[in-house]
Structure 1
Amino acid sequence: MKSKAYIFITTACSVLSIPVLAQTVMDSTSTTSQAAPQSGLTFSGYVEAYYTHDFTAPKTSQERPGFLYNHKRNREVNVNLAFVKGAYVSERVRANLAIQVGTYGQYNYAAEQPLLRNVYEANVGVKLSKTKDLWLDAGIFSSHIGFESAISKDCWTLTRSILAENSPYYLSGAKLTYNTPNGKWTLLGSVLNGWQRIAKLPGYSGPSISTQIQYKPSANLVLNWSTFIGSDRPDSLKQARFFNNFYAIINPNGKFSTILGFDIGSDRKPVGADGRRVGSGSYMWYSPVAIVRYSVSDAVKLAGRVEYYDDKSGVIIATGTPDGFKTWGYSLNFDYFILPNAVFRIEGKVYDSRDAIFESKTNPSKTNTSLTTSLAVSF
């Protein structure tokens, strides 16, 4: 394992020493503050191509570990996410439709009906008040849970954190959203078809409920609390799920910026064939993450991430090993904005698990080392 660590550290240091020319670009990494769309019908798009080299996996392995859904393919150039989007906005009405292709949709929408796997977003909304910023939206929309999305260009790191990969990227249902006049508070409540599901899970009557409270006391701080209450199991098991997502974004547009996140969830223990519950209490999982970003210039940004994911009972990530999924993650990120709408990225990442859960050239390994590069363009 020393040789793999040496390769990772040497590659990361070499990348960080590349000389580049700074140029004025927009900061497109904020996931919490986006410009309001123009009135009328507009079209936009996004394409991200990538290459990932997994140093741990056998040469014949073409997929990254099972708990990852973005940048999934190994040792091949591929498209993670590409979509075209049409958006309509008027004073009281809005609608969005985005059609996607790429390995993100291939793996993350695998449980959906074939015709819906290419739908990145499809929703309509009506403003319920002439004087208040209160909207009712329904359809398929990006999840409000978490600080990361499938659009890598808008995230501080090239690849997603473990907690993001294993919580909803998209949701289906109806939601009410209210923004206060001073722009400091966002309140959201939604009724959903389930935990990242367009069609309900067979045997689950639902519905599920999700909320969000976001507070922006200043341009230098964002505080967020999102919840999910429902289930991702058939009704017969009586496994209620309660999930919390917390994060803080500190000084997001400064020279040094930080994201602190924490997810914690529980599924109640199931009911067995005899009608009795299998033990008391609930199965728990949790994950803290910290990301620090340094802006060398408008064009060059560096980021480091430390994360941990604990799912001993295998509720979200099943391993079949004695200690379950207890894994640390470390990554270093280099971004170069070639143009305001085009970014080249490279990231080295190491996973370190309690049990040997990673595929390797010989026996299962406790660690996994990879290097990912991408080129993303928005238009």
Structure 2
Amino acid sequence: MKTFLNLLLSTFGLTTILPTMAQSSSDSTKSDATSALNVSGYVEAYYVHDFTSPKTAQERPEFLYNHKRNREVNVNLAFIKAAYSNERVRANLALQVGTYAQYNYAAEQELLRHIFEANAGVKLSKSRDLWLDAGIFTSHIGFESAISKDCWTLTRSLLAENSPYYLAGAKLTYNTPNGKWTLLGSILNGWQRIKKMDGYSGPAISTQIQYKPSSNLILNWSTFIGSDRPDSLKQGRFFNNLYAIINPTGKLGVTLGFDIGADRKPIADGRTGRRMGDGSYVWYSPVVIARLRTGERSNMAGRIEYYDDRNGLIISTGIASANRPNGFQTWGYSLNYDYAILPNALFRIEGKLYSSKDPIFETRSGLSKTNTSLTTSLAVSF
């Protein structure tokens, strides 16, 4: 395994030195760089069968970015990561491939689509846990990530698929000495943007307040203030992500999540600056996930969610169409079973149903208000 990892690191242009074990503080024969370097990896292969879509449809609905390919075995996400840290400095570099990167990074420059993480940080205080980091990060917004094994459900929630998975910019993070509070403030290139949107001067601002009163409860509030539109539209965005994770490591755990965002109504006349109307367009999404540990190696999880974007701000359905006057107003239901074949190998299977107010899902004979699918995956981490 060590030889394999060295080969991969050499391919990516990184150091070929791998630590065999952590360095103790009393061992002065090894360099700090060697003792602090950790290499890890992750590969998730999957198969999705969409029972609703035509047999020739190779992609899942447009509002999904994970497990996107239909009726074919593929790789959702595979990455190799090198992480360096000591008492005052840290850095991460992770390079990725897979359909997640193909679809979710489609707006980025081609070279940047393969960067899962690339950031560097320095601790600003000797006595306090205060860090300044800059680069490309996995997003602090939301309780789910693109790494399926770290999430309670195999596929992602609607709110996760349509809020930032990654962010680019600089951030300050402070953790209190008792470990109960995390405070974060960041300046960003935009709403899930590495390359700043053309016509947007930015920057955007994002915050996070997380409170862990005990090991059985996590409370989180994250925000985004900025825009995902050109400056000429003067269409500012204010977004809130709230969640609570109850009993996360117990036999029965529950996650409660709620996203709500608002974009100012756009300018109708670029010459006069007259708006389409006062106020803002709003979208929101609640979700409830319950997970039950069914054995030493197995879990089950169920999810109920709703996503309301009737004005098509985040998920467009062609609102002007007479067949789809209500935009995206969709319920989601899923049930999954997980089995850990080995400590680092996880098999998962999930059935999911979407039910929309309008017929928005493609079928063999037209459009349907519902969509059903079955997803399986095998994830290995090292």
Q: TM-score, normalised by structure 2?
A: 0.89
- What's the offset of the Cα at 1:39? 5.2
Q: Partner residue of 2:379? A: 376
The one-letter code of the counterpart of 1:341 is N
Is residue 2:253 matched to residue 1:250? no
**1:115 has 2:111 as partner:** yes
Kindly indicate whether residue 266 of structure 2 is the aligned counterpart of residue 270 of structure 1.
yes
Matched, 1:58 2:54: yes
1:148 to 139, 144, 149: 144
CA distance in 1, matches of 2:347, 2:38: 26
Partner of 1:165: 161
Classify the secondary structure of the residue corresponding to 1:272.
Answer: strand
| C-alpha distance in 1 between matches for 2:107 and 2:227 | 16
The total of aligned residue pairs comes to 342
For residues 275 and 172 of structure 1, the distance between their equivalents in structure 2, rounded to whole angstroms, comes to 31
What SS does the aligned partner of 1:107 have? helix
**Which amino acid in structure 1 is aligned with residue 298 of structure 2?**
V
Partner secondary structure for residue 117 of structure 1: helix
Give the match for residue 213 of structure 2.
217
Q: Which runs of 4+ in 1 moved over 6 A?
A: none
Give the residue type in structure 2 aligned to 1:57. S
> Aligned to 2:342, which of 339, 342, 346?
339
| Residue equivalent to 2:360 | 357
Q: Taking every aligned residue pair, what percent have the same amino acid on both sides?
A: 77
Residues 301-353 of structure 1: CA deviation (Å, up to 9, x unaligned): 00000000000000000101200000000000100001111100000000000
The answer to whether structure 1 residue 194 and structure 2 residue 184 are counterparts is no
Alignment of 1:94-113 (within 5 A): 94-113=90-109
One-letter amino acid of the structure 2 residue matched with residue 355 of structure 1: D
1:71 to 67, 78, 96: 67
Distance 2:84 2:202 in 1: 31
Structure 1 residue 348 corresponds to structure 2 residue 351:
yes
Q: Distance in 1 between matches of 2:343 and 2:309?
A: 39
1:288 maps to 286
Q: CA RMSD in A?
A: 0.8
Match of 1:40 among 36, 41, 51: 36
1:240 aligns with 2:240: no
Where structure 1 has 5 or more consecutive residues not aligned to the other structure, the ranges are 1-37
The structure with the larger Rg is 2
Determine the C-alpha separation between the residues in 2 that align with 1:177 and 1:105: 27
Inter-partner Cα distance in structure 2 for 1:100 and 1:255: 33
Per-residue deviation, 1:271: 1.1
Measure the CA separation in 2 of the matches of 1:63 and 1:224.
33
The higher-RCO structure (CA 8 Å, 6+ apart) is 1
Aligned residue number for residue 298 of structure 1: 296
Structure 2: give runs of 5+ residues left out of the alignment: 1-33, 319-323
Change (3 A) 1:292 1:376: same
Q: Which amino acid aligns with 2:84?
A: Y
Q: 1:131 and 2:127 equivalent?
A: yes
What is the SS of the residue equivalent to 1:153? helix
Q: 2: distance between equivalents of 1:287 and 1:209?
A: 22
